């Protein structure tokens, strides 16, 4: 590939009022409207009507913020990308970044909770209008995890040093997925950076499970989490809502004692389809053995809080037994053990494999932190909390649009969806009171774009 003309014969001008850089925003915004997002915002968000108008037109401001995030904005100033070329002809009610910043800073904790209520109701609407969560009526997985969003300086409220010794804010996420559908965000919370992972996790888990139920999860629901969420309160929340649990446990004395009782003949060899990186040994592993034993957890608590279930154990032979921690006993010198506490009804091999798929939440976290939540854009804590909730809505909306585009895009990352479907340049032409988007000829993902556009512009089906 090379330039087709000399430098003297090429020039650039920003002077076409009929061009838009994000032609794919048209069907995505239409999908959000069809699923009732502006209506939900108008009904549930009740900001005070100040003299400066900060609390007015909440639905229009919320839609502007989410549309900007879908287009790739990761800061308040980035929202100005929605005010170029013919965007004013394609969309109405687009607000300026300064207006959106004032809007976010007017949020209190109660208003953020109202925004969470919008997100909770929006997800089932997306699931009803698109094949977002195929198979959720049979099996659904709810995965919990938190992450630290690094911040710099001293201007942001709530920052602190978290579990990974990084200064920032703590974002707690719950995602829901099925064996046939990629994960979407069921709930989100922003917490102070120094917050313990398990704080508030029980009520958060209950909210996520209820969100999965609202999306149609009428069969098996399994909550998965790592050892940071191994707590009696979290398991009690699962059981109270009829959900199963699968949570990693730390190698404490009682767990080691239970593992030591497993008969050597009970271990079953398994081979992973893909190798797994082992952090302790700093190497890839692909062979392991698994077994299970009945285990009673939380024996230091009152009898009603104790839980008896399955302890599923995976062991991997140490490559260098001499480097094992001293005082562990011969059993733990030869092998490294990883255990999960679960009441899953699945057979041993399936239950162990299902638990390892908890890693899907890490993909969502990376996606969100690589997109709208690349920054905590405000110095105000509640503004950042609202920003995270809006980022979750934008993620789910983009994922829903991908499911309408086709099989490949149903599980593609947000970056891929944005490149293929959203960031399609278009020229607007008006004729006979109709608006036509002229997109590039030979666009590689034309068929996927056409699928999405046709789906959201078709007449809605009768209830």
For the stretch 63-79, pLDDT in tens is 999 999 999 999 999 99
At 188, list the tokens: 């989100």
Q: Within its chain, how far is the Cα of 245 from the centroid?
A: 19
Label the pairing between strands 139-150 and 220-225.
parallel
The whole-number pLDDT of residue 319 equals 64
H or E segment to which residue 178 belongs: strand 167-178
Low-confidence residues of the chain, pLDDT below 70?
A: 51-53, 272-278, 280-286, 319-333, 460-463
- Cβ atoms of 84 and 18 within 8 Å: the answer is no
Helical spans, DSSP H, in 87-231? 87-90, 97-105, 109-129, 201-214
List, in order, residues 6 or more apart from 3 with CB less than 8 Å away: 10
Name residue, tokens 């404490």.
252
- Cβ atoms of 170 and 162 within 8 Å: the answer is yes
* Cα gap 351→81, rounded to integer Å: 46
At residue 323's C-alpha, the angle toward residues 340 and 290, to 5°, is 25
Instruction: Give the CB-side neighbour count of residue 64, counting CA atoms within 13 A.
Output: 28
Strands (E), 261-321: 268-278, 283-297, 307-317
The whole-number pLDDT of residue 320 equals 59
* Cα gap 447→442, rounded to integer Å: 10
The whole-number pLDDT of residue 215 equals 96
Q: How many helices (H) and strands (E) does the chain have?
A: 16, 13
At 115, list the tokens: 């925004």
Helical spans, DSSP H, in 313-413? 330-334, 348-356, 360-369, 381-405, 407-410
The whole-number pLDDT of residue 323 equals 53
DSSP secondary structure letter of residue 427: E
Verdict on whether the full-model pTM lies above 0.85: yes
The whole-number pLDDT of residue 274 equals 67
Please give the full DSSP string across 135-175, using - where no structure is assigned: TTTTEEEEEEEEEEEE--SS-STT-EE-TTS-EEEEEEEEE
H or E segment to which residue 435 belongs: strand 434-438
DSSP secondary structure letter of residue 116: H
The whole-number pLDDT of residue 431 equals 87
The whole-number pLDDT of residue 51 equals 60
């Amino acid at each position: 590939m090379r330039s087709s003309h000399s430098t003297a014969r090429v020039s650039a001008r920003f002077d076409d009022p009929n061009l838009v850089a994000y032609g794919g925003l048209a069907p995505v915004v239409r999908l959000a409207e069809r699923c009732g997002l502006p209506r939900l915002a108008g009904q549930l968000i009740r900001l005070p009507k100040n003299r400066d108008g900060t609390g007015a037109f909440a639905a229009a401001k919320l839609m502007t913020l989410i549309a900007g995030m879908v287009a790739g904005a990761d800061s308040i100033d980035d929202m100005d990308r929605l005010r170029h070329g013919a965007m004013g002809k394609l969309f109405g009610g687009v607000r300026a970044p300064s207006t959106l910043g004032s809007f976010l800073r007017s949020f209190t904790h109660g208003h953020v909770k109202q925004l969470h209520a919008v997100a909770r109701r929006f997800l089932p609407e997306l699931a009803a209008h698109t094949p977002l969560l195929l198979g959720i009526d049979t099996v659904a997985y709810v995965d919990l995890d938190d992450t630290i969003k690094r911040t710099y300086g001293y201007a942001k409220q709530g920052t602190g040093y978290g579990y990974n010794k990084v200064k920032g804010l703590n974002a707690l996420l719950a995602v829901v997925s099925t064996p046939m559908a990629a994960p979407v965000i069921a709930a989100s919370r922003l917490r102070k950076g120094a917050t313990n992972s398990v704080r508030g996790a029980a009520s958060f888990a209950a909210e996520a499970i209820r969100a999965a139920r609202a999306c149609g999860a009428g069969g098996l629901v399994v909550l998965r989490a790592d050892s940071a969420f191994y707590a009696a309160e979290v398991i009690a929340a699962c059981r109270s809502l009829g959900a199963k649990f699968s949570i990693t446990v730390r190698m404490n004395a009682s767990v080691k004692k239970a593992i030591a009782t497993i008969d050597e003949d009970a271990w079953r060899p398994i081979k992973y389809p893909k190798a797994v990186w082992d952090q302790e040994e700093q190497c890839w592993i692909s062979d392991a053995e698994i077994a299970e034993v009945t285990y009673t957890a939380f024996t230091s608590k009152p009898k009603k809080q104790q839980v008896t279930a399955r302890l599923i154990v995976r062991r991997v032979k140490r490559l260098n037994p001499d480097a094992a921690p001293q005082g562990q006993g011969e059993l733990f010198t030869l092998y490294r053990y990883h255990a999960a506490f679960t009441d899953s009804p699945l057979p041993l091999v399936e239950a162990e494999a299902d638990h390892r798929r908890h890693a899907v939440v890490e993909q969502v976290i990376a996606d969100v932190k690589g997109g709208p939540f690349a920054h905590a854009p405000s110095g105000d804590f509640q503004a950042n909390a609202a920003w995270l909730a809006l980022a979750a809505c934008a993620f789910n909306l983009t994922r829903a649009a991908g499911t309408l585009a086709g099989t490949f895009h149903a599980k593609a990352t947000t970056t891929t969806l944005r490149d293929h479907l959203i960031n399609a340049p278009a020229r607007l032409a008006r004729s006979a009171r109709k608006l036509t988007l002229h997109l590039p000829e030979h666009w590689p993902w034309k068929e996927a774009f056409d699928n999405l556009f046709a789906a959201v512009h078709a007449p809605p089906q009768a209830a």
